[in-house]
């Protein structure tokens, strides 16, 4: 199992999979001592691509990680790799990933995020024709599983959402104009 990004979530994934007896290899510019103590072996991202049967992404989106998984990265991966992205949609170049699936380089794809997700997730589109052809293509593939990003369903996140909502109701009642100001309480 290759893990790219061993921060909070990546290290939890490493802990779970280590408990299941899996060999875990990882890439992160900053090595996590907890992961090292679990026996996680850090290596270059290129070596991780070469050795991994499964690659799970847990890295932030920035200029270095945008389209981190593109054509050249996919070419380095094992044939039949399983790719899982639960970090940010733009980490993957969706068109390159589709090509990887069509060539059978990628045999399974799990997405909890998608490049253009803001236009697609968190609203009812059941009576709409989706205009995103890349997303539509991914939906037709039998070895692709797409779910809506669920990170905000933790008890802490839901409490923060409720606290923010209640605070904004109070501020509105106190006469604040919330149409132009987004007021977020200190948590």
Enumerate the active-site residues: 88, 117, 149
Q: In what order do the strands lie in the sheet with 54-57?
A: 41-42, 25-27, 2-4, 54-57, 81-85, 106-111, 144-146
**Strand partners of residue 56:** 3, 84
Q: Which of 115, 101, 98, 124 is nearest to 149 (CA)?
A: 115
Residues in contact with 26: Cβ distance below 8 Å, sequence separation at least 6, in sequence order: 2, 3, 4, 6, 10, 14, 35, 40, 41, 42, 43, 48
The encoded tokens of residue 43 equal 């290596």
Q: Which of 95, 97, 86 is nearest to 59 (CA)?
A: 86
């Amino acid at each position: 199992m290759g893990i790219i990004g061993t921060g909070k979530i990546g290290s939890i994934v490493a802990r779970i999979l280590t408990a299941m007896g899996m060999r875990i290899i990882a890439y992160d510019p900053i090595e996590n001592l907890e992961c090292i103590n679990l026996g996680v072996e850090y290596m270059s991202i290129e070596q991780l691509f070469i050795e991994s049967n499964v690659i799970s992404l847990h890295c932030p989106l920035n200029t270095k990680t945008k389209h981190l998984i593109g054509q050249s990265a996919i070419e380095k991966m094992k044939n039949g790799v399983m790719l899982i992205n639960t970090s940010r949609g733009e980490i993957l170049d969706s068109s390159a990933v589709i090509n990887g699936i069509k060539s059978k380089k990628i045999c399974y794809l799990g997405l909890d995020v998608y490049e253009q997700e803001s236009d697609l997730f968190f609203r009812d589109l059941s009576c709409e024709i989706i205009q995103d052809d890349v997303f539509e293509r991914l939906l037709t593939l039998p070895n692709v599983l797409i779910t809506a990003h669920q990170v905000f369903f933790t008890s802490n996140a839901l409490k923060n959402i409720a606290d923010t909502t209640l605070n904004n109701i109070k501020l509105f009642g106190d006469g604040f104009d919330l149409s132009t100001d987004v007021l977020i309480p200190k948590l």
